[in-house]
């Protein structure tokens, strides 16, 4: 079992010092990754609620500790992305676009909360935590992907990636501790994949339209290459995504411990890149 750390970070983003196309100088990639950021605060609140609901049923003290750290980490990510999303609003000509997107997501999650049984809601969290875990691992591994993120905002994404990778097994372990229903887990993953990408595309299109880039064909072609090209953002992740459908899958099958040690030191070690942003380091 891993020792998770709750870190409090003081992050602020000045719209004047963040380029509008902060991701690879590319409007389509920037709006797509911005759409992801807009989904994070409400999404992570959902993750926390779906796990916290089962806290009193857990008996393993190590798992309980991990759950508390998971909750603390996700709450901080929500804060970090809310600050980031506030900065994004200054870059979108119609600031209400972001508010409308967030409102729509709240409605969608409200529907999920009202209709899915708690166990299935936890399975949704496990599915999305697998997405964030494999994206995070890739971001920590690939210099080219980190270099695509402008340095003024890179810290947020790398810190978030580190912690997603650190706590990648927590929701899954809770699900397993409750009996781990395999058919439900994979059906929910398949459905969540469809709903998640539909929602991401929906927000992305809204942002592109607000910026007048929706009809830019070369922008769309570039986006396809950057996502699905051989070295793209998504194509190399397909095998890791499919691993989740194995009956004996566990997030720790992918051993990221050395990668995590490297990044814990690089970000928060004695001369860590984000050390001075740290407000209150606490061991969970």
Q: Which stretch binds Fe ion (CB under 5 A): 18-26, 77-85, 221-229, 265-273?
A: 77-85
Residue 130 near Fe ion by CB under 5 A:
no
Cβ at position 70, least distance to Fe ion in Å: 7
Nearer Cβ to Fe ion (74/173): 74
Cβ at position 260, least distance to Fe ion in Å: 14
Nearer Cβ to Fe ion (20/154): 154
Nearer Cβ to Fe ion (164/173): 164
Residue nearest to Fe ion (CB): 77
Residue 77 near Fe ion by CB under 5 A:
yes
Please report how many Cα atoms fall inside a 13 Å half-sphere around the Cα of residue 189, on the Cβ side. Answer: 19
Centroid of chain to Cα 271: 26
Cβ at position 77, least distance to Fe ion in Å: 4
Q: Which of residues 154-183 bind Fe ion (CB under 5 A)?
A: 164
Nearer Cβ to Fe ion (164/199): 164
Residue 7 near Fe ion by CB under 5 A:
no
Q: Is 283 exposed, middle or buried (0-12, 13-18, 19+ CB in 10 A)?
A: exposed
Centroid of chain to Cα 103: 19
- What is the distance between the alpha carbons of residues 194 and 144, in angstroms, rounded to a whole number? 28
CA distance to 21, 36, 188, 265, per residue, from 102 (Å):
21, 11, 23, 35
CA distance to 250, 259, 266, per residue, from 69 (Å):
19, 20, 21
Cβ at position 126, least distance to Fe ion in Å: 10
Residues that bind Fe ion in the complex, under the rule CB under 5 A: 74, 77, 164
């Amino acid at each position: 079992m891993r020792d998770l750390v709750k870190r409090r970070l003081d992050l602020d983003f000045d719209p004047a010092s963040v380029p509008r196309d902060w991701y690879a100088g590319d409007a389509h990639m920037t709006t797509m990754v911005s759409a992801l950021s807009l989904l994070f605060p409400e999404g992570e609140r959902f993750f926390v609620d779906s796990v916290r609901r089962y806290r009193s049923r857990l008996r393993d003290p190590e798992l309980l500790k991990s759950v508390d750290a998971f909750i603390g980490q996700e709450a901080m990510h929500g804060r970090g992305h809310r600050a980031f999303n506030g900065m994004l609003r200054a870059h979108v000509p119609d600031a209400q676009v972001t508010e409308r997107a967030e409102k729509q997501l709240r409605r969608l999650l409200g529907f999920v909360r009202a209709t899915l049984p708690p166990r299935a809601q936890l399975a949704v969290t496990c599915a999305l935590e697998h997405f964030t875990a494999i994206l995070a691992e890739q971001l920590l591994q690939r210099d080219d992907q980190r270099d695509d993120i402008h340095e003024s905002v890179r810290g947020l994404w790398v810190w978030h990636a580190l912690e997603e990778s650190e706590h990648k097994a927590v929701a899954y372990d809770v699900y397993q501790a409750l009996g781990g229903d395999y058919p439900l887990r994979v059906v929910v993953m398949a459905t969540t994949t469809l709903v998640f990408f539909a929602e991401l595309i929906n927000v992305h299109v809204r942002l592109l339209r607000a910026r007048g880039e929706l009809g830019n064909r070369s922008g769309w072609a570039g986006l396809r290459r950057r996502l699905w090209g051989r070295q793209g953002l998504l194509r190399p992740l397909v095998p890791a995504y499919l691993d989740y459908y194995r009956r004996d899958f566990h997030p720790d099958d992918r051993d990221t411990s050395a990668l995590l040690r490297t990044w814990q030191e690089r970000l928060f070690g004695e001369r860590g890149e984000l050390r001075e942003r740290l407000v209150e380091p606490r061991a969970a």
